[in-house]
């Protein structure tokens, strides 16, 4: 896998510029927290986390404490890039019992919503002598996704936990939008109403006020309504607006339904794919009409054919659902996958393509010549989404830095 960190930086700056160029709006411009969970959507955390910081990200988002520790290490001085050592790292899916100490040691910012999570972090903070209000956390508000976050009914009780003695400091509030890709915006509008009520409650509570308010994913950043609503809400309550794109940083725009907001199309075309996934031809063979190919002979040659064996299979993350359906690029042309994709090997039909040799480069995702295969294509064939295509590519596939993607 070839990773263009330059494309990643371009995408970060492009998204930022869409949020800054809104001169006459009140309030502070929206900042971006770069989501680098799941090994940077399969693109390699070690490459992408420092790239996000170089592009200007003050915040990175990971799912777990383990990923947070890895992100901290990826951004530490050992990358050799000065100034990439101190992003804030948000752990978005909660902490497990026993992980409080690691959160504090690695200066991670935990997202919290359950009382026991506060207990865990407080005990760990006191154990190492942290002062009152010295450990920052972000409180997640459930505004309708019902996955995680404090429900409105429990908010007062949780807020009371942030008293003057607590070592914890509520530095941020967040919620997650569950339908930002639905262009009617109905669900998002309802979520914003609940968010505003919750923010009002927090604001009314005594004590220190949170600094950050963050919502939204790539769809919300690209569609453009949410940044404005967030900016307004933040300006009303004196908070700093932050949004959390993932997919778009890797060069893809999510699909919207039922139709795409006008602004998205132009941005989609300016995003640059960060990864190219390649393999090689391992061997070439001729088969005659009637010969069956691969496990269970699901493909039968209809005429004399030339097939190329590729060094890639479902153990690398090539979806088995692409058997007899997907295609690859070789010598700038499309070659259809024939027969079942095996664990480590795949056959493609190269009958019409001249001069195929063992060792030839084969593109699974990316560009070759004038042809192009996007993660969306694999997703459509495999009945899934691009996020899953990216994160399915396994560790066996080496992530290699390239200067130009």
Query: What residues line the site for ligand PLP (CB under 6 A)?
Result: 35, 37, 92, 176, 217-218, 244-247, 254
CB of 174 to ligand PLP, least distance (A): 7
Residue 37 a catalytic site member: yes
Residue closer to ligand PLP by CB (options 143, 217) is 217
Residue closer to ligand PLP by CB (options 92, 103) is 92
CB of 14 to ligand PLP, least distance (A): 14
CB of 244 to ligand PLP, least distance (A): 4
CA 234 centroid distance within chain: 25
Residue with the closest Cβ to ligand PLP? 246
Residue closer to ligand PLP by CB (options 140, 316) is 140
Residue closer to ligand PLP by CB (options 221, 328) is 221
Q: How far apart are CA 188 and CA 144, in angstroms?
A: 9
CB of 171 to ligand PLP, least distance (A): 17
Residue closer to ligand PLP by CB (options 11, 323) is 11
CB of 243 to ligand PLP, least distance (A): 8
CB of 253 to ligand PLP, least distance (A): 10
Q: How far apart are CA 399 and CA 377, in angstroms?
A: 21
- Closest Cα partner for 248 from 221, 224, 228? 221
Candidates 178, 278, 295, 319; catalytic one: 295
CB of 105 to ligand PLP, least distance (A): 24
Residue closer to ligand PLP by CB (options 112, 308) is 112
Residue closer to ligand PLP by CB (options 16, 79) is 16
Candidates 12, 37, 250, 314; catalytic one: 37
SS (H, E, C) the chain: CEECHHHHHHHHHHHHHHHHCCCCCCCCCCEEEEECHHHHHCCCHHHHHHHHHHCCCCEEEECCHHHHHHHHHHCCHHHCCCCCCCCEEEECCCCCCCCHHHHHHCCEEEEECCHHHHHHHHHHHHHCCCCCCCEEEEEEECCCCCCCCECHHHHHHHHCCCCCCCCEEEEEEECCCCCCCECCCHHHHHHHHHHHHHHHHHHHCCCCCCCEEEECCHHHHHHCHHHHHHHHHHHHHCCEEEECCCHHHHCCCCCCECCCCHHHHHHHHHCCCCEEEEEEEEEEEEECCCCEECHHHCEECCCCEEEEEECCCHHHCCCHHHCCCCEEEECCEEEEEECCCCCCCEEEECCCCCCCCCCCEEEEEEEECCEEECHHHHHHHHCCCHHHHHHHCCCCCCCEECCCC
Cβ neighbors of 225 (< 8 A, separation 6 or more) are: 185, 188, 261
Q: Which residues are catalytic?
A: 37, 295
């Amino acid at each position: 896998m070839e990773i263009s960190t330059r494309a990643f930086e371009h995408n970060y700056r492009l998204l930022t510029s869409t949020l800054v160029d809104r001169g006459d709006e009140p309030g502070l411009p929206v900042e971006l927290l770069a989501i680098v969970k799941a090994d940077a959507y399969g693109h390699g955390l070690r490459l992408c986390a420092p790239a996000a910081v170089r592009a200007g990200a003050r915040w990175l988002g990971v799912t777990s404490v383990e990923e947070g520790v890895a992100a901290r290490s990826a951004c530490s001085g050992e990358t050799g890039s000065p100034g990439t050592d101190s992003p804030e790292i948000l752990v978005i899916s909660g902490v497990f019992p026993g992980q409080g100490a690691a959160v504090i040691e690695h200066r991670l910012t935990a997202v919290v919503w359950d009382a026991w999570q506060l207990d865990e972090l407080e005990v760990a903070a006191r154990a190492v002598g942290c002062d009152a209000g010295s450990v920052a956390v972000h409180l997640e508000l459930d505004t309708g996704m019902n996955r995680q976050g404090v429900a409105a009914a429990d908010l007062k009780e949780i807020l009371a936990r942030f008293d003057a003695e607590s070592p914890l400091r509520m530095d941020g509030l967040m919620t997650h939008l569950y339908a930002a890709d639905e262009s009617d915006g109905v669900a998002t509008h309802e979520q914003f109403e609940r968010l505003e009520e919750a923010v009002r409650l927090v604001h009314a509570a005594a004590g220190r006020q949170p600094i950050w308010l963050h919502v939204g994913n790539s769809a919300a950043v690209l569609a453009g309504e949410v940044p404005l609503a967030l900016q307004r809400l933040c300006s009303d309550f004196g908070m700093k607006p932050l949004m959390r794109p993932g997919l778009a940083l890797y060069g893809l725009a999510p699909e919207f339904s039922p139709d795409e907001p006008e602004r998205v199309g132009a941005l989609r075309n300016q995003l640059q794919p960060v990864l190219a996934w390649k393999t090689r031809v391992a061997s070439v063979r001729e088969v005659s009409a009637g010969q069956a190919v691969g496990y269970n002979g699901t493909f039968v040659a209809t005429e004399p054919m030339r097939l190329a064996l590729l060094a890639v299979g479902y153990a690398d993350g090539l979806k088995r659902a692409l058997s007899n359906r997907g295609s690859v690029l070789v010598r700038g042309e499309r070659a259809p996958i024939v027969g079942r994709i095996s664990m480590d090997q795949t056959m493609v039909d190269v009958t019409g393509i001249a001069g195929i040799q063992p060792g030839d480069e084969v593109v699974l995702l990316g560009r070759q010549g004038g042809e192009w295969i996007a993660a969306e294509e694999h997703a459509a064939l495999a009945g899934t989404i691009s996020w899953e295509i990216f994160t399915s590519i396994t560790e066996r596939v080496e992530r290699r830095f390239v200067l130009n993607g």
